């Protein structure tokens, strides 16, 4: 199978790299990380390139579904800063893809044009203080009262809640006994009365700040039930749909972006750093490290774009996307740590970008379904013939 970039893909990569060099210089990326800042003006300029619409059908103002191109955008932005690539995911993927797949016609009509313009971000309100991978056990409750929904509960590790337009909130909407038929998703604006947001001081992924969110008798219109009235009690189906496969690829694209940046910096440093009268790249041990990392990264990218093509064609790919997420995430962590080793003491200094790559890379095997969960899924879905 041929994985060579098409002229269109090459053009898209070139466009994004010029944008990153112009609007996301290294100094700015370091500042966003240090200050935990979302560069909203840069995000607006990114939207002007038209890349927000890569998950939005043309009838709603987008460019049409293109999962491969979406992954390219995530990868290229992640090479410089997660403060921009994660909000891009929050818009094009969390908002765009979920709306296309499960939004009501009214929600699509009202919200998808805003996604295409870069004016709408969703934050995932899924995990809870006592609920991680077992999302069917969420305790946040929602009750329908007339034409409103009343929500009580709490979410943890809700990244981007401070900057989003809606929290994509998974709630228990029925009796606890029927785990998979009593869940719903409700869109909750973060400024709704009764919503409280508290920052979690995490190691990395700055910009789309990780938060705790609590809901105290939060009332929203019933029109904000995701999928409309037909979406009530269908939250589990929304979670396990094809969007879950693409979410794993989003994380894999972040992984390849971070790993690419780390390897490029380590490669350049090895050429420049002199020890014992010659560049450290002259030492075989360093050359072997660089060669192994380049091989790992190449394999991760092949897996990513193979799986992205399957997902784009709506082919069954649960196993492939789990393998991709697992391999790319673990490769990114290993590459970032090895690149830090090549930098020596400088790799431990805040002013050197590899320190940030390490902090970001350590999160990647955890987010979007941990490596242990992916291994379980690979075995389970292979056994089930998926």
Domain of 299, CATH number, reads 1.20.140.10
- pLDDT tens digits for range 10-67: 999 999 999 999 999 999 999 999 999 999 999 999 999 999 999 999 999 999 999 9
Tell me the sheet residues that pair with 212: 198
Q: How confident is the model at residue 386 (pLDDT cuts 50, 70, 90)?
A: low
- The domain boundary, picked from 205, 234, 263, lies at 234
149 with 109, same domain? Answer: no
376 with 266, same domain? Answer: yes
Closest CA to 244 of 116, 357, 386, 104: 386
115 with 141, same domain? Answer: no
Q: What percent of the chain has pLDDT over 90?
A: 87
Q: State how far the Cα of 259 lies from the Cα of 380, in Å rounded to an integer.
A: 29
Determine the length of the chain. 386
227 with 261, same domain? Answer: no
Q: How confident is the model at residue 3 (pLDDT cuts 50, 70, 90)?
A: low
213 with 318, same domain? Answer: no
2 domain-assigned: no
- SS3 annotation, 191-256: CCCCEEEEECCCCCCCCCCCEEEEEEEEEEEHHHECCHHHHCCCHHHHHHCHHHHHHHHHHHHHHH
Residues whose CB falls within 8 Å of the CB of residue 370, separated by 6 or more in sequence, listed in order: 133
103 with 163, same domain? Answer: no
115 with 130, same domain? Answer: no
- The domain boundary, picked from 90, 120, 150, lies at 120
355 with 260, same domain? Answer: yes
Residue-number span of the structural domain to which 79 is assigned? 7-120
Q: State how far the Cα of 258 lies from the Cα of 253, in Å rounded to an integer.
A: 9
- The domain boundary, picked from 94, 120, 146, lies at 120
Retrieve residue 288's tokens: 């072997």
63 close to 54: Cβ distance less than 8 angstroms: yes
Q: What is the pLDDT of residue 211?
A: 96
253 with 370, same domain? Answer: yes
Q: State how far the Cα of 26 lies from the Cα of 353, in Å rounded to an integer.
A: 8
1 domain-assigned: no
289 close to 344: Cβ distance less than 8 angstroms: no
Q: What is the pLDDT of residue 1?
A: 55
The phi and psi torsions of 339 (rounded to 5 degrees) equal -65, -35
- Say how many domains are in the chain: 3
- pLDDT tens digits for range 278-314: 999 999 999 999 999 999 999 999 999 999 999 999 8
């Amino acid at each position: 199978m041929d994985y060579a970039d098409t002229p269109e893909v090459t053009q898209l990569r070139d466009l994004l790299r010029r944008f990153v060099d112009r609007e996301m210089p290294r100094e700015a990326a370091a500042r966003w990380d240090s200050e935990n800042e979302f560069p909203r003006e840069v995000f607006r300029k990114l939207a002007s390139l038209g890349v927000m619409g890569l998950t939005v059908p043309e009838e709603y103002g987008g460019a049409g579904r293109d999962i491969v191109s979406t992954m390219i955008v995530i990868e290229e932005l992640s090479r410089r800063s997660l403060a921009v690539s994660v909000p891009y995911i929050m818009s094009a993927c969390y908002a765009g893809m979920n709306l296309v797949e499960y939004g009501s016609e009214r929600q699509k009509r009202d919200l998808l044009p805003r996604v295409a313009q870069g004016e709408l971000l969703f934050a995932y309100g899924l995990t809870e203080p006592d609920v991680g991978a077992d999302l069917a056990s969420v305790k946040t409750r929602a009750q329908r009262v007339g034409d409103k929904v009343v929500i009580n509960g709490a979410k943890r590790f809700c990244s981007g809640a401070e900057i989003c337009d809606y929290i994509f909130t998974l709630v228990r909407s029925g009796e606890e006994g029927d785990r998979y038929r009593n869940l719903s998703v409700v869109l909750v604006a973060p400024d709704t009365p009764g919503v409280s947001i508290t920052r979690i001081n995490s190691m990395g992924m700055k910009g789309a700040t990780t938060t705790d969110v609590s809901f105290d008798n939060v009332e929203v219109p019933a029109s904000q039930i995701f999928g409309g009235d037909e979406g009530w009690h269908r939250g589990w189906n929304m979670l396990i749909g094809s969007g879950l496969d693409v979410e794993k690829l989003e994380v894999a694209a972040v992984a390849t972006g971070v790993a690419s940046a780390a390897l490029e910096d380590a490669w350049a440093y090895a050429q420049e750093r002199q020890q014992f009268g010659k560049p450290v790249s002259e030492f075989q041990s360093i050359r072997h490290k660089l060669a192994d990392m380049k091989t790992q990264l190449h394999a991760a990218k092949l897996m990513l774009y193979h799986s992205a093509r399957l997902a784009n064609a709506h082919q069954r790919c649960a196993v492939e996307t789990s393998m991709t997420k697992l391999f790319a995430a673990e490769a990114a962590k290993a590459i970032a740590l090895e690149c830090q080793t090549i930098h020596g003491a400088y790799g431990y200094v805040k002013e050197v970008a590899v320190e940030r790559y390490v902090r970001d890379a350590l999160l990647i095997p955890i987010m979007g379904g941990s490596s242990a969960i992916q291994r379980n899924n690979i075995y389970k879905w292979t056994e089930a013939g998926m």
